[in-house]
Chains A and B, each alone.
Chain A
């Protein structure tokens, strides 16, 4: 099954704003938006946002998600050292009847 496209790495200075992107097609990201997950080293994935900026309880509003066409974005406002992690996007693909993932973006906080 085809996956979503994410840049392998992004680096940002402390307190800067990071924008991570995720590109799919009209059958997945363009259909229902994307889900975003954060995975710190040695920890399980943590849900940050689902289906276009729906944040689960307890997730800081410094994380915001959006979609434009077939590209989803996750914006982290004022990055902190604890935001250093791998970030994955995912979406249900209605054509494949499969859940597709991006390869992940490693965010480094300088």
Chain B
């Protein structure tokens, strides 16, 4: 079964850090462009970051540049999002996805004091 499972979400204080993980299975992860997309409560979908299959190129939405880092480990078929200097406006459900194949169930990140 083609599947993506996110983990690592939780409650964090403003200015804090969090690392999200996404475990892939059922497809050739090392061939896939992967991305993170978030959805704030009651809002639409917002792309956060993308990474090429070999990890050599990374792209970010302007609002997270310099604060978030996307990475992958093809040997472990896993995608990551390291988030730092978190703000209240980063509060959202974070989804990992292969845009042409499958989305995960999401993990909730809440930034609040």
Contact = CB atoms under 8 A, between A and B. Distances in A.
Interface string B76-113: 00000000000000000101010111111110000000
Interface in B29-79: 35, 37, 44-47, 50, 59, 61-62
Interface stretch (A13-21, A65-73, A93-101): A93-101
Given A35-B100, A99-B99, A1 B61 contact: yes
B48 to A, nearest CB: 9
B100 A45 contact: no
Contact of A98 (B59, B93, B105): B59
Given A1-B62, A99-B99, A44 B104 contact: yes
A99 B103 contact: no
Given A44-B106, A98-B59, A51 B47 contact: no
Interface residues of B, number: 21
Mostly, the A contact residues are strand
Nearest to A45: B103
Given A98-B47, A98-B59, A101-B46, A47 B101 contact: yes
Contacts of B44: 86, 88, 101-104
Considering residues B46, B99, B105, which has the most beta carbons from chain A within 10 angstroms of its beta carbon? B99
A22 interface: no
Given A35-B100, A44-B103, A56-B101, A104 B61 contact: no
Mostly, the B contact residues are strand
Interface of A: 1, 35, 37, 39, 44-47, 50-51, 54, 56, 86, 88, 90, 92, 97-104
The 4 closest A-B pairs by CB, nearest first: A99-B47, A50-B100, A104-B44, A101-B45
Given A37-B45, A86-B44, A99-B47, 20 more contacts: A1-B47, A35-B99, A44-B93, A44-B106, A45-B37, A45-B97, A47-B101, A50-B99, A50-B101, A51-B100, A54-B100, A56-B101, A88-B44, A90-B45, A98-B47, A99-B59, A99-B99, A102-B44, A103-B44, A104-B44
17 contacts: A1-B47, A1-B62, A35-B99, A37-B103, A39-B45, A44-B95, A44-B104, A44-B105, A45-B95, A47-B102, A47-B103, A50-B101, A97-B59, A99-B59, A100-B47, A101-B37, A101-B47
